[in-house]
């Protein structure tokens, strides 16, 4: 299918090489077979992996006539890619039984994580093509996502002994120690926007502690889910991470199952509230990483060109479909005009088009219904007085295309500021002072992350101390890193992923106190 010309392709080549994080990858994108069903199946490894242990969990629906199936769709064309059957009750029971029985030593976990990192890098070309085909991410950013997963596996492999080392506690006259024990089986309900990274950042630390995982991935990235399971099977053997495809009503019953010890969910607030409530009724640990409408504050003394370039990259990375992103750009009025000019120019350098091309920065959104919801938010914002600064026109190509757009909102109650926008729609708002910027930043129900740009560090630190967010980034974009915890407060959820804190979310932090037994006298 013919593509509309990319926007500023030459200028995008330098900036787009940074993917899910700032880690560069040397993997050469494979555009040729991106939308070929055979190529997707090869990357997913549909006939291997866990299919050897539990036939059917990894299979595709070739020739399947037993009931409803999941059909994955290429968002760049709107055409079907593949079909997958739902997991049967017998397959689910077998997966649970295997997960409960499966245990690994500390050395086996560390070695498995290292093997996983090697496999991710070895297969980065085909896996990146699969990601791009199923959810529309730039293939260069898809390769960077895989590299970030590999780095995270290595991080936990390298720090596992330190993480699990018992801590001695002085409880005289007794001896005391604190040790980390796994909870058991964790149900991971994961989203589509980073189909590998979201799984790895949540579950690599859980597996490092010694837990096993049942992965219920988003339906539209079912091929990626199969590939993730295959990689884990090849690195650890079957049972450490097993994928399941379930209808919504069966997910609740699985949360209730006594074999499931904890639940990790990343997704919308609406579904997260249901998952958290169900886990709460079953008295099970849950970690919820929900929506975000992150403020990006630009103070009057900021390096405006640098901040604007960063805002463009942060907002439109991953086709605008990131939880950590510059969604509410709040700028002191004295530099507002300069910032808007710089931001509009930076947006113009980001190539918009075929995500299989390595120079593309912004591709289609992941699904047509998501595109339609973002269009509704844009139209509602314009009706409320928002001014379109760039883009705004409807892209009527087949698929889930949305022209990258930037608007100026009339106030914090505008839909593009009040609601979470999940797509290539940026929104800017001028404020009169740093205190006004902080008030607007904290006016949202969300509290995932915040970025603050300026040169007066004492003033920035005072603002950062009062921001309602799980993370604050100073003079850099909001992004996750395996060395730091990530998570939100308020409507953005609870619990943490990554770092030692992410691992401890799914640990039984067990205290052992031993009395000194008097020696018997002869």
Active-site residue set:
289, 323
- DSSP, res 235: H
- Which CA distances in Å does 280 have to 205, 272, 495, 496, 519? 22, 12, 14, 17, 47
Cα Rg of the chain (Å, integer): 24
Tell me the sheet residues that pair with 384: none
Strand pairing report for 174-182 and 387-390: unpaired
Tell me how far apart the alpha carbons of residues 276 and 282 are, in angstroms, rounded to a whole number. 10
Helices first, then strands: H and E counts in the chain = 17, 20
**Largest interatomic CA distance in the chain:** 94
Tell me how far apart the alpha carbons of residues 133 and 417 are, in angstroms, rounded to a whole number. 31
Please state whether 468 falls in left (phi above 0), alpha (psi between -120 and 50) or beta.
beta
Cis ω before 173 (30° cut-off from 0): yes
Give the 3-state secondary structure percentages of the chain, helix then strand then coil, rounded to 5.
40, 20, 40
Whether the CB-CB separation of 114 and 204 falls below 8 Å is answered with: no
């Amino acid at each position: 299918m013919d593509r509309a010309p990319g926007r500023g392709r030459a200028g995008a080549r330098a900036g787009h090489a940074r993917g899910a994080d700032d880690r560069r990858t040397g993997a050469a994108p494979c555009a040729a077979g991106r939308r070929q069903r055979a190529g997707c199946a090869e990357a997913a490894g549909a006939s291997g992996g866990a299919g050897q242990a539990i036939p059917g969990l990894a299979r595709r629906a070739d020739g399947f006539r037993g009931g409803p199936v999941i059909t994955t769709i290429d968002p760049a064309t709107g055409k079907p890619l593949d079909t997958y059957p739902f997991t049967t009750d017998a397959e689910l029971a077998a997966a649970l039984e295997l997960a409960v029985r499966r245990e690994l030593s500390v050395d086996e976990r560390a070695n498995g994580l290292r093997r996983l990192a090697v496999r991710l890098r070895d297969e980065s070309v085909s896996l990146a093509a699969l990601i791009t085909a199923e959810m529309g991410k730039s293939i260069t950013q898809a390769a960077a996502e895989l590299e970030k997963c590999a780095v995270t596996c290595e991080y936990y492999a390298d720090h596992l002994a330190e993480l699990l080392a018992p801590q001695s506690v002085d409880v005289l006259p007794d001896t005391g120690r604190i040790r980390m024990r796994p909870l058991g089986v964790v149900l991971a309900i994961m989203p589509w926007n980073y189909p590998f990274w979201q799984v790895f950042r949540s579950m690599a630390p859980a597996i490092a502690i010694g837990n096993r995982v049942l992965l219920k991935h988003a339906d539209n990235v079912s091929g990626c889910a199969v590939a993730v399971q295959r990689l884990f099977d090849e690195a650890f053997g079957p049972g450490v991470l097993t994928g399941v495809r379930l209808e919504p009503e069966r997910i609740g019953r699985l949360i209730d199952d006594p074999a499931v010890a904890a639940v990790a969910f990343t997704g919308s607030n609406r579904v997260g509230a249901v998952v958290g409530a169900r886990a709460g009724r079953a008295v099970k640990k849950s970690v919820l990483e929900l929506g975000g409408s992150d403020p990006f504050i630009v103070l009057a003394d900021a390096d405006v060109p640098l901040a604007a370039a960063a805002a463009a990259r942060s907002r439109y990375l991953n086709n605008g479909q990131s939880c950590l992103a510059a969604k509410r750009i709040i700028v002191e009025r004295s530099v507002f005009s300069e910032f808007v000019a710089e931001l509009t120019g930076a947006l113009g350098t980001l190539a918009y088009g075929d995500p299989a091309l390595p120079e593309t920065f912004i591709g289609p959104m992941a699904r047509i219904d998501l595109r339609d919801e973002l269009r509704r938010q844009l139209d509602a914002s314009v009706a409320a007085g928002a001014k379109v600064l760039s883009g705004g026109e409807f892209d009527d190509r087949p698929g889930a295309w949305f022209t990258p757009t930037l608007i100026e909102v009339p106030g914090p109650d505008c839909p593009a500021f009040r609601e979470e926008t999940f797509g290539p729609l940026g929104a800017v708002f001028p404020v009169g002072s740093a205190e006004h910027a902080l008030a607007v930043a904290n006016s949202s129900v969300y509290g995932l992350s915040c970025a603050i740009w300026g040169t007066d560090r004492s003033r920035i630190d005072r603002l950062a101390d009062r921001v309602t967010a799980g993370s604050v980034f100073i003079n850099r974009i909001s992004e996750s890193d395996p060395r730091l915890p990530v998570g939100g407060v308020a409507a953005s959820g609870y619990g943490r992923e990554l770092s030692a804190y992410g691992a401890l979310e799914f640990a039984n932090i067990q205290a052992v106190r031993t009395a000194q037994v008097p020696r018997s006298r002869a």
